[in-house]
A = this chain, B = another copy of it.
Amino acid sequence: MPDTTSPGEMSFLRNAWYVAAWPDELGRAPLRRIFLNQPVVMYRTEAGVPVALTDSCPHRFVPLSLGHLEQDDIVCCYHGLRFAPDGQCTLNPHGDGGIPRAARLRAYPLAERHGAVWIWMGDAAADPARIPDFTILGDAQRFATVQGVMHVAANYQLITDNLLDLSHVQFLHPGLRVANPVRQRHEMKQEGDTVWSYFWRDEGEPNKLLQLLGWPAGQRGDSRAHMRWDAPCLMLLDVGMTGIGQPPEAGMAAPSAHLLTPETETSTHYFWAFMRDTAREDAALSEKIRALGIQAFAMEDKPVIEAQQRNLGGAELMSLGPALLYPDAAAIRARRVLATRLAAETSQS
């Protein structure tokens, strides 16, 4: 049960894929990010292959991200040690130039897939086949994508709760709300370790996103918001609207990805992406969608979730005996799956 999970060692699933960066964030300038309390430096080789290394030189523990690249290697700014993408020290400019055994960095497996750069922080074998299917995120042929990354000063599970319970959209996000639906319902489904959270709002008015994509403001329809969750905190949202009583295929879709990577116990990198298959070349539309996303995530979700984290202090949410509501079912289920996975990982290590 999640409420017996103490924060700390069991808090992060290490043997899992997380998003480390959007592909265009990585280049020839070293980028430092902290994942699961570990400092990581990332860059691309001259051939464009992404690299992730511990961002701490094994000599004096200075961040390598303060240094510079030479061909495919990164050079420490402090004493010039040079490291290859596999973490091996390739140059010690001191003394006889011998490489001390301790002079190596942990190289983290990366996979560039589904339009994102994924990192594996654990000790088990890193199999990219275990990355959940985000094909549509990487399908540049079919979709235009607007994406961003936001830093949230809150535990990642609080953001998962937010995303698996989209009933909050009706209260917190005026721009994403489906107005005046005649009927609403919610279902939860678990298949293996994947959890689905389904919201339907029938015969309602389109939200601003659907209007931007072309749905007429005054025309009611049946809308859906179906969130898929995979451990530890990777979510794909199928949002769409169809004519009243019509099947989903007949309508309009606006899928989005919500990919969380814990930074620390109380902070998270939130990678988000909106996709669309209409007006793909319309840059002005992209900017309107970006503004809508930033309004919802940065101006509406972020302050609420950060205030929630502050109100919790150091306490784990479930340990406080929260009132449970009907649409919490999926979030509770996901917390349970995650707790089981965390317990299994801890017992193996």
If A80-B171, A172-B77 touch, does A96 touch B326 (CB 8 Å cutoff)? yes
B325 touches A92 (CB 8 A): yes
User: Known: A79-B325, A161-B60. Contact between A303 and B168, CB under 8 A?
Assistant: no
The reply to whether A327 and B94 form a contact with Cβ atoms under 8 Å apart is: yes
Q: Once the chains bind, are A165 and B79 in contact (CB under 8 Å)?
A: yes
In contact, B95 and A62 (Cβ under 8 angstroms): no
Interface string of A55-74 (1 = CB under 8 A from B): 11011111100100000000
A61/B322 contact (C-beta < 8 A), A78-B304, A172-B78, A307-B66 known: yes
A321 interfacial contact with B, CB 8 Å: yes
Closest approach, in angstroms, between the C-beta of A314 and any C-beta of chain B?
Answer: 13
Tallying the copies of this chain within the complex gives 3
Q: Which residues of B contact A250 (CB under 8 A)?
A: none
- Which residues A304-348 have CB closer than 8 A to chain B? 304, 307-308, 311-312, 317, 320-328
Name the residue of chain B whose CB is nearest to the CB of A95. B326
How long is the Cα–Cα vector from A60 to B81 in the complex, in angstroms? 49
CA distance A61 to B320 in the complex (A): 9
A8, CB-defined interface residue at 8 Å: no
Asked if B171 and A323 make an inter-chain contact with CB atoms under 8 angstroms apart, the answer reads no
Q: Are A323 and B161 in contact, with the CB atoms below 8 A?
A: no
Chain B residue contacts of A311, Cβ below 8 A: 39, 55-56, 61-63
Tell me which of B60, B168, B325 contacts A95 (CB under 8 A).
B325
A61 partner residues in chain B, CB cutoff 8 A: 308, 311-312, 317, 320, 322
A5 at the B interface (CB under 8 A): no
Among A55, A322, A325: residue with most chain B CB under 10 A: A325
In the assembled complex, the Cα of A184 lies from the Cα of B308 at a distance in Å of 54
Instruction: Give Cα A178 to B167, complex, Å.
Output: 64
Q: Which of B59, B62, B326 contacts A94 (CB 8 A)?
A: B326
B62 near A304: Cβ-Cβ < 8 Å: yes
- Looking across the interface, which residue of chain B has its beta carbon closest to that of A57? B323
- Residues of A near any B CB (own CB < 8 A): 39, 55-56, 58-63, 66, 76-81, 89, 92, 94-96, 100-103, 158, 161, 165, 167-168, 170-172, 186, 303-304, 307-308, 311-312, 317, 320-328
Using A58-B323, A102-B324 as known contacts, list a sample of 17 further A-B pairs with CB atoms less than 8 Å apart, ordered by residue number in A. A59-B328, A60-B317, A60-B322, A61-B308, A61-B311, A61-B320, A61-B322, A66-B303, A66-B307, A79-B327, A80-B170, A81-B323, A94-B326, A95-B186, A96-B326, A100-B323, A102-B323
